[in-house]
Chain A
Amino acid sequence: MTSAIHPTPTDRYPTATSTLQARTEHDIQARLEAHKASPQEHTPDGPVLQRNAHLQFLLRNLVQGFPARYMSQDASQPWLFFWTLQGFSVLSVGLDEQTRQRSINTIMALQHPLGGFGGGPGQSPHLLPTYASVCALAIVGRNGDNGGWDQIDRKKMYDLFMSLKQPDGSFLVSHHGEVDVRGIYCLLTVATLLDILTPELVAGTPEFIASCQTYEGGFGSASFPDWALANDGQIQDASAPRPPLGEAHGGYTFCAAASWILLQPYVKTYYPAKGLPTPTINYAGLLRWLTQMQGLEIELGGFKGRTNKLVDGCYSWWVGGCVALVEGFLGIGKSAEGEGDDGADGEHAWADVDDSLFSRKALQEYVLIAGQHSAGGLVDKPPKPADAYHTLYCLSGLSAAQHHVVPSDDRRADLLKAWQDPTDSSGDLAAQVRKLAFVDTLCWKEDEGTAKYFGGATNRVNATHLLTNLTATHAEGMMAHFYNQTLPRKGAKA
């Protein structure tokens, strides 16, 4: 093993990119030195999660509010709620009854008469605030009067979604708005949580997602549809090029990969039944790109969002969380329990692959050392100030690096066994999609005993459900309600 920390090689050919990179490496190393010199921040066991400082930061935002520079987030108010409320969840802190009710009342003021939620009261419905509002309600809401959940107008929301649908399978984020995979991720998550995912809604969407994968393996923001469309606006030439708009990018890649997985209940059911070729993406290219985004030791193993760009704390989730999501989905590392060591030696020792394709330890190191602001809250990178967005996504990334959350066969079987459909329409494709959406989404479960806490167990944060970025409890609670199911208890291994 090499112990010396090398800077990113520049081949003695400096450009703007390498100069900025070198400066960032310097800043991160300076932060590391300062961190190690601070006994409150760094003990002999390693860096310390400043839990209390972050809770104070979240509490200040929730109770006192945000300073005027957050005016730029006026159209993203549900995001401010979600980042803050989910921040508490990741830090294992529940909220009192009164705060929850205030939260519900605030969120419900954002529901639009046309369906969906806006960025603030009186703002137009938009897919992004709709996701943030519904996820925030998963955290603080409940069924019954004034609980939020039963006040969501799902019929109108579905109509809104359909009105945003484009012929190429994509969706506008709002009327007259743009198309991009963030909006689609938001729509699919909400549709899955609220039980309004239908074959009609997502027809063509898998193909759209696939078209956004770039030659690098990650995904861009959208793709260009027109060459595939006939004059009447319908898809005419499915083989026509639909080139991605914009390079592979961490945020879009998370949204595309999660969308792809959320679409599988539809893909697995519908395509074989209709005799259609199943759409594909390049998994090998995706895994390569995702792992390439992890920075070097000198960058403390934080993640970048694009090739040759800088590490940034929010990609701890968008990319780090995405590696965990994709490898879980593909079952990589799953053999660990079953195979054991069958006399592992020689070449076979290499088969003893650990439980992740990225360095979980290094990512924790980045978040704990470069990601924490000493005054509370988390950051993009030093010396930037803390903000609500980076606070959640650094913590979520830390969670993805600590816990190993994967689809569990046992849990899946239990969920299937407990499934109840009084209409007994098992022959109906839509009913099958619905059942799979419930089972496939909720079978993600922490692999017991595999959590790893850099700096010690006191740094533990809650496990996150990788598809929704909620805790499993919140995702389960909301889905059990809307699918009208009773969840089987999570027992010990069968």
Chain B
Amino acid sequence: MSYLSSEDDVAPLLYCERPEWQDVTPISQYEAVSSPIAPIFYTPEYKDATNYFRGVVKTGETSERVLELTERIIRMNPAHYSAWQYRYRTLLATNAPLDVELKLMDQIAAHNMKTYQVWHHRRLLITQLTSASLAKDPVDTATAELEFIGNVLALDTKNYHTWSYRQWLLAHFDDAGLWLGELPYVDDLLLEDVRNNSAWHHRYFVVFGRGSRSQATPAEEGEVLQREIRYVKDKISVAPNNPSAWNYLRGILEYSNTPFSTLLPFTEPYTRAYVQPTDDVVDLDNPKPSSDATLPCVAALDFLAEAYVRAGGDGVGKAVELWKQLANEHDTMRKKYWEYRIKEALEGKTN
């Protein structure tokens, strides 16, 4: 395919210099506007290619050379959504082999991870490739895709578009085998960086995002919840001042309607100065902070106060005391927020 080789061309000719493009009338951008505001200083190559693009769009041509043209524009500006859109239409109209297109995208995506269109185009291709008529094996395709995504995430572990694409892919194919690989994957990422919030979100998506569709029995659901609570407690004990882990804990308790107060024995040691253990007994259910931890931990105080206020009764007074500590000592930047919580609680709103 000719359009695959364009990357090797060091200085491709301008379209206006190419005889095979003579039949297209280029359209310059602001034909009717004499002095547009805020103009961009384009390179000659970009101006040339986009002039021909406007010309092609005007006649509605869909052909192989349009694929070459749109690729060239996309390589210069991957955010050119119209070029992507027109390219996709052209691929469909010309019955172009989409697996070839996907290979090209592997290359382009690796250089342009932060562009929406790069990921969205993949999603369109994968959807088409695995639709009934083309009958490419969905699970094989998705497996290969997960591997590709993994390679990209290895370079940028918090890339938003890549993560949301991974989540879409898993839900779209919804295959038990695919889901199975995700927890070990998240585990590796959290071992590498326990503060990676994207990985925590993904864990939540994988474990709880399917809700009732996971078809677990209530007993199994209970086991999963206990497993996750143990998991996040361990992660908190390693680095307590990690809002990602505490948010995950709060999230799964809320999801399962588990009272925060069931975590009091675990939380309390994180809300005080460090205490040297007096014996060798290790409570596996409630791992304690190490002497390296900065205590008290703000997220733990926040959690404890939440547990108290939700329990009601004399818990409200205890929560208020903790919020005062946060407002005046441990988290002064959020003073107004903690004071708001106090006001709401004293007015009887549990929030």
Q: CB within 8 Å of B: which residues of A?
A: 1-2, 8-13, 15-18, 61-63, 65-68, 70-77, 80-81, 84, 99, 102-103, 105-106, 109, 118-124, 126, 173-178, 214-216, 220-222, 224, 226-227, 240-241, 243-249, 284, 287-288, 291-292, 294-297, 301, 306-309, 332, 347, 350-351, 353-354, 356-359, 362
Bound together, the chains give a CA A29 to CA B143 distance in angstroms of 46
Residues of chain A within 8 A of B339, CB atoms compared: 350, 353-354
Q: How far is the CB of A184 from chain B (nearest CB, A)?
A: 15
A-B contacts besides A16-B196, A119-B81, A176-B89, 10 pairs, CB < 8 Å? A63-B37, A72-B77, A106-B33, A177-B81, A243-B171, A246-B161, A306-B158, A307-B247, A353-B336, A354-B339
Bound together, the chains give a CA A169 to CA B38 distance in angstroms of 36
B168 & A245 in contact (Cβ 8 Å cutoff): yes
Q: Which residue of B lies closest to A221 (CB)?
A: B164
> B336 contacts which of A65, A121, A357 (Cβ < 8 Å)?
A357
Q: Which residue of B lies closest to A285 (CB)?
A: B254
Query: Is the CB of B18 closer than 8 A to any CB of chain A?
Result: no
A1 & B328 in contact (Cβ 8 Å cutoff): yes
Q: How far is the CB of A187 from chain B (nearest CB, A)?
A: 16
Q: How far is the CB of A352 from chain B (nearest CB, A)?
A: 8
> B248 contacts which of A11, A215, A245, A309 (Cβ < 8 Å)?
A215
B292 & A13 in contact (Cβ 8 Å cutoff): yes
A215 & B254 in contact (Cβ 8 Å cutoff): yes
Q: Which residue of A lies closest to B84 (CB)?
A: A176
Residues of chain A within 8 A of B42, CB atoms compared: 68, 71, 74
B81 & A9 in contact (Cβ 8 Å cutoff): no
Interface centre among B41, B77, B212 (most CB of A within 10 A): B41
Bound together, the chains give a CA A92 to CA B120 distance in angstroms of 40
Q: CB within 8 Å of A: which residues of B?
A: 27, 29-43, 46, 50, 53-54, 57-58, 76-82, 84-86, 88-89, 116, 120, 123-124, 157-158, 160-161, 163-164, 167-168, 171-172, 192-198, 200-201, 204-205, 208-213, 238-244, 247-248, 250-252, 254-255, 289-290, 292-294, 297, 320, 324, 328-329, 332-337, 339-340, 342-343, 346-347, 351
> B195 contacts which of A226, A243, A308, A350 (Cβ < 8 Å)?
A308
B164 & A246 in contact (Cβ 8 Å cutoff): yes
Bound together, the chains give a CA A66 to CA B58 distance in angstroms of 27
> B333 contacts which of A106, A216, A295 (Cβ < 8 Å)?
A295
Q: How far is the CB of B114 from chain A (nearest CB, A)?
A: 10
Residues of chain B within 8 A of A301, CB atoms compared: 333
B196 & A308 in contact (Cβ 8 Å cutoff): yes
Bound together, the chains give a CA A109 to CA B88 distance in angstroms of 25
Residues of chain B within 8 A of A240, CB atoms compared: 211-213
A10 & B241 in contact (Cβ 8 Å cutoff): yes
A122 & B27 in contact (Cβ 8 Å cutoff): yes
Q: List 17 A-B contacts (CB under 8 A).
A: A10-B241, A13-B239, A74-B46, A75-B80, A75-B82, A77-B40, A84-B38, A122-B53, A123-B82, A178-B123, A222-B164, A224-B167, A224-B209, A241-B213, A243-B211, A307-B247, A358-B337
A1 & B332 in contact (Cβ 8 Å cutoff): yes
Q: Which residue of A lies closest to B349 (CB)?
A: A284
B213 & A347 in contact (Cβ 8 Å cutoff): no
B77 & A74 in contact (Cβ 8 Å cutoff): yes
Residues of chain B within 8 A of A214, CB atoms compared: 201, 204, 251
Residues of chain B within 8 A of A176, CB atoms compared: 84-85, 88-89, 124
Q: Which residue of A lies closest to B346 (CB)?
A: A347
B251 & A215 in contact (Cβ 8 Å cutoff): yes
B195 & A354 in contact (Cβ 8 Å cutoff): no
A99 & B254 in contact (Cβ 8 Å cutoff): no
A243 & B346 in contact (Cβ 8 Å cutoff): no
Q: Which residue of A lies closest to B299 (CB)?
A: A292
Bound together, the chains give a CA A241 to CA B212 distance in angstroms of 8
Bound together, the chains give a CA A66 to CA B37 distance in angstroms of 10
Q: How far is the CB of A56 from chain B (nearest CB, A)?
A: 15
B79 & A75 in contact (Cβ 8 Å cutoff): yes
Bound together, the chains give a CA A121 to CA B124 distance in angstroms of 26
Residues of chain B within 8 A of A177, CB atoms compared: 81, 85, 120
B80 & A74 in contact (Cβ 8 Å cutoff): yes
B346 & A18 in contact (Cβ 8 Å cutoff): no
A15 & B81 in contact (Cβ 8 Å cutoff): no
Bound together, the chains give a CA A294 to CA B78 distance in angstroms of 32
> A247 contacts which of B40, B201, B289, B346 (Cβ < 8 Å)?
B201
Residues of chain A within 8 A of B167, CB atoms compared: 224, 243, 245-246
Residues of chain B within 8 A of A17, CB atoms compared: 193, 195-196
Q: Which residue of A lies closest to B337 (CB)?
A: A291
> A68 contacts which of B41, B86, B195, B196 (Cβ < 8 Å)?
B41
Residues of chain A within 8 A of B254, CB atoms compared: 215
Bound together, the chains give a CA A174 to CA B167 distance in angstroms of 22
Bound together, the chains give a CA A405 to CA B76 distance in angstroms of 42
Q: Given the interface contacts A68-B42, A73-B40, A122-B54, does A226 sit within 8 Å of B243 by beta carbon? A: no
Q: Which residue of B lies closest to A76 (CB)?
A: B79
A224 & B294 in contact (Cβ 8 Å cutoff): no
Q: Which residue of A lies closest to B112 (CB)?
A: A72
Bound together, the chains give a CA A38 to CA B337 distance in angstroms of 34
Residues of chain A within 8 A of B337, CB atoms compared: 287-288, 291, 357-358
Bound together, the chains give a CA A249 to CA B193 distance in angstroms of 19
Residues of chain B within 8 A of A73, CB atoms compared: 40, 79
Bound together, the chains give a CA A426 to CA B334 distance in angstroms of 45
Bound together, the chains give a CA A144 to CA B54 distance in angstroms of 30
Q: Which residue of A lies closest to B201 (CB)?
A: A247
> A351 contacts which of B242, B324, B343 (Cβ < 8 Å)?
B343
Q: How far is the CB of A325 from chain B (nearest CB, A)?
A: 16
Bound together, the chains give a CA A178 to CA B84 distance in angstroms of 12
Q: How far is the CB of A364 from chain B (nearest CB, A)?
A: 13
Q: How far is the CB of A423 from chain B (nearest CB, A)?
A: 38
B333 & A297 in contact (Cβ 8 Å cutoff): yes
Bound together, the chains give a CA A67 to CA B340 distance in angstroms of 47
Residues of chain B within 8 A of A356, CB atoms compared: 336
B252 & A215 in contact (Cβ 8 Å cutoff): yes
Q: Given the interface contacts A10-B241, A11-B292, A124-B81, does A102 sit within 8 Å of B171 by beta carbon? A: no
Bound together, the chains give a CA A221 to CA B166 distance in angstroms of 13
Q: Which residue of B lies closest to A284 (CB)?
A: B351
Residues of chain B within 8 A of A118, CB atoms compared: 82
Bound together, the chains give a CA A74 to CA B84 distance in angstroms of 14
B38 & A77 in contact (Cβ 8 Å cutoff): yes
Q: Given the interface contacts A122-B54, A246-B201, does A15 sit within 8 Å of B194 by beta carbon? A: yes
B333 & A359 in contact (Cβ 8 Å cutoff): yes
Q: Which residue of B lies closest to A354 (CB)?
A: B336
Residues of chain A within 8 A of B293, CB atoms compared: 11
Bound together, the chains give a CA A99 to CA B38 distance in angstroms of 11
3 closest A-B pairs by beta carbon, nearest first, are A215-B251, A243-B209, A9-B294
Q: Which residue of A lies closest to B120 (CB)?
A: A178
B36 & A109 in contact (Cβ 8 Å cutoff): yes
